[in-house]
Chains A and B, each alone.
Chain A
């Protein structure tokens, strides 16, 4: 049997400031080493100043993953030398003097399967090393400390996954959950990273590190399982070790054995007292937590009669569900859901497109209402949506500009139908003998009206007029 466990690191990118100082939590917009201060650079005499909201958001994550949340949390130092670590220790959390990490044991359902969470801890991200050129030629390493001290939540799971597919499904659900909680933007580069451990047939556990993306994680796990199976089938023992994912060759390679075994000498961080989180605070956090994805989905189905699949898509994506929440009325809910899941999804499928989109909830509402009142057809709505996402502006202007307004009067439509009948005598004859073929004429009318005619009215009129 294959057992896979995960350690997921998620940056709390939605926070304003770093974990222990007032530098920016989202370091991405800065020139190298300009988002730093004496605290995150570990200058002599500086002290950490814990960010209250980071503790609150991490606690929310723990609650959302059904974890135990302790009365008090503690911070520890993990000691090791590395150039990206300004203090040469990392402030993190552990459960050595009782349960003192932000989250204890919990669970997350992946379909019917229960994945157990071991613990959730709040810690600081290190800086970043930059290697220029090939590694052999590098005489030095360059360091950018902008990321140092970014609030990071580590989620550790039990080895409950049996195959890479389960891992992927779990990560998708988890990433939607974190986005929905409004703690992180998982689409930001490096905002979510994961290490995995893999064992087969009750054998030794192998850790895989250095995995750049969730996509690679699946591949790395797959590779590692295959590697271990191949060894196992030839009776070669699998050694307990740490392996690195080689991104170029798409294989895992054994990490060079270190000169000395690392010994992190964990001990309590004396600069941060234990933090009491009482029931009152926890209750308050619970009320502040955004509605969960599953609850949203259920609401969409029961309250608005939205089909299950549409409700699932809508609820699991924060961008879509936010649009929906702000655009829908009781009357147009189904229509709004429909527009988002059939027409909009293709237009804003990347992070950049979403950022550039000029679409506002008010647009969606107006489009849905216009469809329902028969002012525009679904087809025209799609064209209008495309235009609005790209250019913005008001719907009425776009209807005029693109001439999308419905041909609603019978007389106007009758003229066009008359013209079509005169142009297509053969088709008319055919339709008379075989009513099935009348759709050809409907199509011709639609062509002439650029899709603005109501298809039903057209059919009725055509039947009458031939």
Chain B
């Protein structure tokens, strides 16, 4: 069971404005379904991941991007990107 307050807290974290009131019920239902994970009995399981040798990595070489990316961007003033004010 997840509380409305918890959902509001997460929404802030994720920069999501909650408009649709049905979201509480739906998210609660989804999370409720995830409870099944508790009975999977996987506590002792390790986390493994794909591996590659260091030699597969990119060579350290400077290659400038061949287009003026800045001109394709939103909100740019002269040469800077404009962001909202920080408080």
The CA of A455 and the CA of B9, in the complex, are separated in Å by 83
Task: Report the minimum CB–CB distance from B48 to chain A (whole Å).
Answer: 9
With contacts A38-B65, A74-B49, A263-B13 taken as known, whether A143 is within 8 angstroms of B80 at the C-beta atoms is: yes
Please tell me if the beta carbons of B83 and A17 are within 8 angstroms of each other in the complex: no
Residue A33 interfacial (CB < 8 Å): yes
Residue B12 interfacial (CB < 8 Å): yes
The CA of A381 and the CA of B54, in the complex, are separated in Å by 51
Q: Mark A137-154, 1 if CB is under 8 A from B, else 0.
A: 011111111000000000
Q: Mark A11-48, 1 if CB is under 8 A from B, else 0.
A: 00001110000111100000111111110010000000
Which residues of chain B are within 8 angstroms of A16 by Cβ–Cβ distance? 60-62
Which residues of chain B are within 8 angstroms of A141 by Cβ–Cβ distance? 82-86
Residue A277 interfacial (CB < 8 Å): yes
Q: Mark B36-80, 1 if CB is under 8 A from A, else 0.
A: 000000000011011111110111111111001110010011011
Please tell me if the beta carbons of A17 and B65 are within 8 angstroms of each other in the complex: no
Task: Report the minimum CB–CB distance from B77 to chain A (whole Å).
Answer: 7
Which residues of chain A are within 8 angstroms of B12 by Cβ–Cβ distance? 259-260
Q: How many contacts A-B (CB < 8 Å)?
A: 128
Residue B26 interfacial (CB < 8 Å): no
Which residues of chain B are within 8 angstroms of A38 by Cβ–Cβ distance? 65, 69
The CA of A259 and the CA of B9, in the complex, are separated in Å by 10
The CA of A59 and the CA of B2, in the complex, are separated in Å by 44
Task: Report the minimum CB–CB distance from B42 to chain A (whole Å).
Answer: 15
The CA of A130 and the CA of B57, in the complex, are separated in Å by 34
Residue A421 interfacial (CB < 8 Å): no
Among the 9-residue stretches A49-57, A345-353, A371-379, A443-451, the one with 4 or more Cβ atoms under 8 Å from chain B is A49-57
Nearest residue, chain B, Cβ from A21 = B65
Please tell me if the beta carbons of B13 and A130 are within 8 angstroms of each other in the complex: no
Please tell me if the beta carbons of B51 and A275 are within 8 angstroms of each other in the complex: yes
The CA of A260 and the CA of B14, in the complex, are separated in Å by 11
Please tell me if the beta carbons of A31 and B79 are within 8 angstroms of each other in the complex: yes
Q: Describe A's contact surface by its main secondary structure.
A: loop
Nearest residue, chain B, Cβ from A73 = B54
Please tell me if the beta carbons of B76 and A97 are within 8 angstroms of each other in the complex: no
The CA of A136 and the CA of B6, in the complex, are separated in Å by 33
Task: Report the minimum CB–CB distance from B53 to chain A (whole Å).
Answer: 5
Which residues of chain A are within 8 angstroms of B73 by Cβ–Cβ distance? 41
Please tell me if the beta carbons of B81 and A52 are within 8 angstroms of each other in the complex: no
Size range of the chain B interface in the assembly = 35 or more
Please tell me if the beta carbons of B83 and A49 are within 8 angstroms of each other in the complex: no
The CA of A5 and the CA of B64, in the complex, are separated in Å by 39
With contacts A38-B65, A52-B58 taken as known, whether A145 is within 8 angstroms of B81 at the C-beta atoms is: yes
Please tell me if the beta carbons of A140 and B83 are within 8 angstroms of each other in the complex: yes
Please tell me if the beta carbons of A275 and B86 are within 8 angstroms of each other in the complex: no
Please tell me if the beta carbons of B70 and A34 are within 8 angstroms of each other in the complex: yes
Please tell me if the beta carbons of B79 and A273 are within 8 angstroms of each other in the complex: no
Which residues of chain A are within 8 angstroms of B81 by Cβ–Cβ distance? 33, 83, 142-145
Please tell me if the beta carbons of A52 and B13 are within 8 angstroms of each other in the complex: no
Name the contact of A33 in the complex, choosing from B54, B79, B84 (C-beta under 8 A). B79
Task: Report the minimum CB–CB distance from A440 to chain B (whole Å).
Answer: 64
A250-280 contacts to B, CB under 8 A, are 259-260, 263, 268, 273-278
Name the contact of B64 in the complex, choosing from A23, A143, A276, A281 (C-beta under 8 A). A23
Residue A319 interfacial (CB < 8 Å): no
A sample of 5 cross-chain residue pairs with beta-carbon separation below 8 angstroms, ordered by A number, consists of: A16-B60, A35-B64, A36-B65, A54-B60, A129-B83
Interface set of B (CB-CB < 8 Å, partner A): 9, 12-13, 15, 46-47, 49-55, 57-65, 68-70, 73, 76-77, 79-86
Apart from A36-B65, A52-B59, A275-B52, list 14 A-B contacts with CB within 8 A: A17-B60, A22-B62, A23-B62, A33-B79, A49-B57, A50-B58, A52-B60, A56-B54, A83-B83, A97-B47, A138-B85, A143-B80, A259-B12, A274-B51
Listed from nearest, the 5 A-B pairs whose CB atoms lie closest are A53-B60, A37-B65, A52-B57, A83-B83, A142-B80
